[in-house]
Amino acid sequence: MNSMAVKERDASAGGVEISKADDMQQHALTDGFHLVIDALKLNGINTIYDVPGIPISDLLRMAQAEGMRVISFRHEQNAGNAAAIAGFLTKKPGVCMTVSAPGFLNGLTALANATTNCWPMILISGSSEREIVDLQQGDYEEMDQLAIAKPLCKAAFRILHAEDIGIGVARAIRAAVSGRPGGVYLDLPAKLLGQVMDAAAGQKSLVKVIDPAPAQIPAPSAIQRALDVLKSAKRPLIILGKGAAYAQVDDEIRALVEKSGIPFLQMSMAKGLLPDTHPQSAGAARSTVLKQSDVVLLIGARLNWLLSHGKGKTWGEPGTQKFIQIDIEPREMDSNVEIAAPVVGDIGSCVSALLAAMGNNWAPPPAEWIATISEKKEANIAKMASRLKKNSMPMDFHSALGLLRTVIKERPDAILVNEGANTLDLARGVIDMYQPRKRLDVGTWGVMGIGMGFAVAAAVETGKPVLAIEGDSAFGFSGMEVETICRYNLPVCIVIFNNNGIYKGTDVNPTGGPDVAPMVFVKDARYDKMMEAFGGVGVHVTTPDELYRAVSEAMDSGKPTLVNAVIDPAAGSESGNIGSLNPQSALTKK
């Protein structure tokens, strides 16, 4: 354990600065700074995403000196998003550090989003001292951060004494990854970091977390009940959610799907668990299989709004479908519709148990059901093909995405980050994925602004090239992080679908006044110049061929690149797949 050199002015020595380093070495002392660093490293956490500032700037300097990777952002929300997706990719808590009050609040959005999406993340924030906060005496950035964080994350802890840092970090790690993963807040008052204690005692106080996410074995009766329901199906369907991707039991899931012969749908961040081109994939017949299936096996997928809550026009007649659900959280069952066969446990254990119980004589689904799906897939694929091959100028969303689809097909190990409205909705269906955990997007909340944070973390955590496909509106939430991408020289290519506005760039002010319409941006903005300003490569393209060449070159070079892709301002549609959530005025309905 290392010690920190601290200088202070000793009044008894006539105001001469003396160093505490010698004293600390003589007595083998350590401090809160190093205990935090050592506790993280002991548990295999070697990267911190952050925005520096008092009181954590010294901690970040020391962490880097101790060999940790410290990735500093321009805004805490983006650093938090990076930590959250790092947790998804690695199954270890991604760590974000912020300053107090405003910095903490900026990071809190990402923490809440991580909790909603079940990604393990720890937000560590400096804070004011309790005795001042509790009496509301007006400290610098005074705020009761623990109380604010508690309702928005899985767990929240405050550490007041250096000897408790090991336990505090251990509790945060275990809370983040055990059961259903989520976000954890860890509050570190500034005074804690400077506390000094005996180094040997400090070493003993650290905790290496053993088996932080223990397997939760499903009940044999639950497995048998699930198989009985599945055997009764005439039109079965498997839906794979991002929980299945997070589990990293890819071989077992593939074995279950292929052994059963059941068609499958992959939710957006589960795409690639099996290739979208797999013969059992029903992605191109999504509407048909959701409406006509009679038994649905959910693996790491929730019946929330992304699946129309398991009812309504998207699905068949009420009472005609049965659901089997695999989830580690018992309270998830029956959240929207009756679950005929709940299977509670971790996905790896549940899938393995189902495989073992299926035996070697499992009957495939009826040929009529497979033929119905195949016919619909072929029709939809043929219908889409002409739109993707259109070589128009200006480009529309489909012609641009058709070329980016080819870019990913040629580089299946690249990571795709995707956000926007039309840019997200259409890319989800157009771009096939071939490997697991290669598609990262807005997740359950559909929150804007994840793009650059996700892109940075994907490059840092995997070392793979990253393609970030962004709507021009979505990019605006985190666009300043192009400087971060250039600063760390990350292999990230950003493509901005620039149609001059939100959904469309053609709205007009109905009053004829000087202000532009609320959804309109600066016409013909040159986002590529932003990247050039920070030393990256900026490219302006107007045709599909130019787009393909620019992105291919960027992905192969590994250089930070931003491609400004001009899209027809009239090409978009209101809110994509969630336009129904935007209520019209009662007056306009008359």
Mean pLDDT, consecutive 10-residue stretches, the chain (590 aa), reads 39 41 69 98 98 93 98 98 98 97 96 98 92 84 92 97 98 98 96 96 98 97 98 97 98 98 98 98 96 98 95 90 97 96 98 96 96 96 86 88 97 97 94 98 94 98 98 96 98 97 92 93 96 98 96 98 96 69 53
Fold for domain 389-579? Rossmann fold (3.40.50)
Q: pTM of the full predicted structure? A: 0.93
Architecture, CATH, for domain 7-205: 3-Layer(aba) Sandwich (3.40)
**Cβ atoms of 30 and 36 closer than 8 Å:** no
Residue 542: how many other CB atoms lie within 10 Å = 14
pLDDT for the residue numbered 590: 41
User: Which CATH class, in words, describes the domain spanning 220-373?
Assistant: alpha beta
- 3-class SS of residue 103: helix
Residues of the chain with CATH 3.40.50.970: 7-205, 389-579
**Cβ atoms of 505 and 523 closer than 8 Å:** yes
Q: Kindly state the helix (H) or strand (E) to which residue 483 belongs, with its residue range.
A: helix 482-487
Residues of the chain with CATH 3.40.50.1220: 220-373
Lookup: tokens for 195: 């506390």
Measured distance CA(34)–CA(15) in Å, rounded: 28
> Whose CA is closest to 177, among 86, 252, 98?
86
> Whose CA is closest to 169, among 97, 119, 108?
97
Q: What is the chain's length? A: 590
Measured distance CA(4)–CA(22) in Å, rounded: 10
pLDDT for the residue numbered 19: 52
